[in-house]
Amino acid sequence: MRALLPFSLNLSLRIAKSSLCLTDEQQTAICSQLGNVKLNLLYKASIHGFTGEAFHKHCDKKSPTVSVGYNKSGRVFGGYTSQPFSQFGGFVKDDEAFVFSFSGERLNKYSVNNSSYAVRMTKNSGPNFGDTLILVHKDEQKVYSNQSSFTGYLYTKYYTFTAEKMHGNDLDLTDCEVYQVEECLQFENPWRTVTWTSEEKEKLMERIKSYKPSISSVSEARVLLVGQVGAGKSSFFNSFKSIFKGRVSGQAINGTCSTSVTSQFRTFIVKPEHEEKPLPLILCDIMGLEAKEGEGFHVDDITNIVSGHTPDTYQFSPSGPLHSEAQGFCKNPELKDKIHCVTYVVDASTISIMPQNMEDKLKAIRKKVNLHRIPQLVLLTKIDEACPLVKKDVTNVYKSKYIKKLMQEAASRFGVPLSFLVPVKNYSEEQELDMNIDILLLRAVDQILHLVNDFFDEHRD
């Protein structure tokens, strides 16, 4: 067996507060059976739907996979197959297949008894392990377990387990997830060059402090942060501020709830510790985007914000944008009042399952921003939670093939070149500053300021 590379997959708690997810110990237990791997989430029933159609749409032709079911009793169970899913209706041979359940953090593994019947490809159900364990059975939020009521054991020969150990006799699903198993590989050399030294950190800090807009009528760069609820907009500002305060600190309110913590348009400045003059940078935060129609930030508000019409502390309303006759509406904004760069903040670990409605909202915002010729950058946050290599050491960020793959996917979804996408890690659990985290954050802001200069070059008189 190959050595296991630990990793984190805590997607569910960030997608929906009530969702369940594997613990780090359970993740390790599953992957210890598979080798040096990571899991890439393909399908989550609570988001994509408890139907065979939704399952096959996201999982067909993908392999190997781990399928995980969660029930109302808190049990975690599922199966592994090396064969790709399809809808042809028959059984598929798989010598490597197994089903599993957990007793606390301990994995109970049940290998296939007759590999010719390891997996069945049913059209109207989710993952089907030999007609003995079926998740999302017949388009319902249910588990099917082929167990003998007389002996407590399966009367078929494909897998042997007890219903009590597998799922506690609870057939009501709360969620079902399917992950593609991928080898966790890294590049021999980083694909972007970063200098990880204290001198580099000081150099970046000084460059940001001494930044001066190329247009004399503007004294500060105004940057708008846009992102899905929970992506880390407010955390990014707090983390950046912490560098210049010399300690982990907070100003913008952040949290982990499923609805936006930010409800107003807020502008934030950073004043370095022991200095009177703030940085020549204003970071603007808005209400988080929500996939559901009629909730969260209203897309039509973006025009007012980037054009400089929106006053600080404006209270967002999902029902409609700011009206031109509303109190505080700035009717004649100057260039210094407008947004000079829009920065999208995206959670690396959920990019692959971004709901279509959310992608549509982001595309609508990008379209409006493009009309104003405003440069745009994408920040990929929570990179340590998405990749075990980065979790172990953040300086591995540009050695990770997985992070590059996520960045390429984000670049494709947002329609920006890969060079306009920057990975960062915000401060979350840390109580002390980390030089390497700081360098990633400072590099991101440095690139933002380069884009601001591009904006001013386009808007010279």
pLDDT reported for residue 357? 87
Query: Is pLDDT at 13 greater than 50 in this prediction?
Result: no
> What percentage of the chain exceeds 90 in pLDDT?
59
The phi and psi torsions of 48 (rounded to 5 degrees) equal -90, -20
Output the CA–CA distances (angstroms, integers) from residue 291 to 175, 206, 364, in the order listed.
Answer: 19, 39, 13
Pick the CATH number of 198-458 from 3.30.70.370, 3.20.20.120, 3.40.50.300, 1.10.10.60: 3.40.50.300
Higher pLDDT, 373 or 25: 373
Confidence of residue 368 (pLDDT cuts 50, 70, 90): very high
Query: Is pLDDT at 434 greater than 80 in this prediction?
Result: yes
pLDDT reported for residue 276? 86
pLDDT reported for residue 296? 66
Q: Where are the domains of the chain?
A: 12-183, 198-458
Query: CB 373: neighbour CB atoms within 10 A?
Result: 10
pLDDT reported for residue 148? 41
Contact between 345 and 448 (Cβ < 8 Å): no
For the stretch 24-74, pLDDT in tens is 778 788 888 887 788 888 999 999 999 999 999 999 999 999 999 999 999
Confidence of residue 292 (pLDDT cuts 50, 70, 90): confident
For the stretch 155-189, pLDDT in tens is 456 898 988 889 999 999 999 999 999 876 788 89
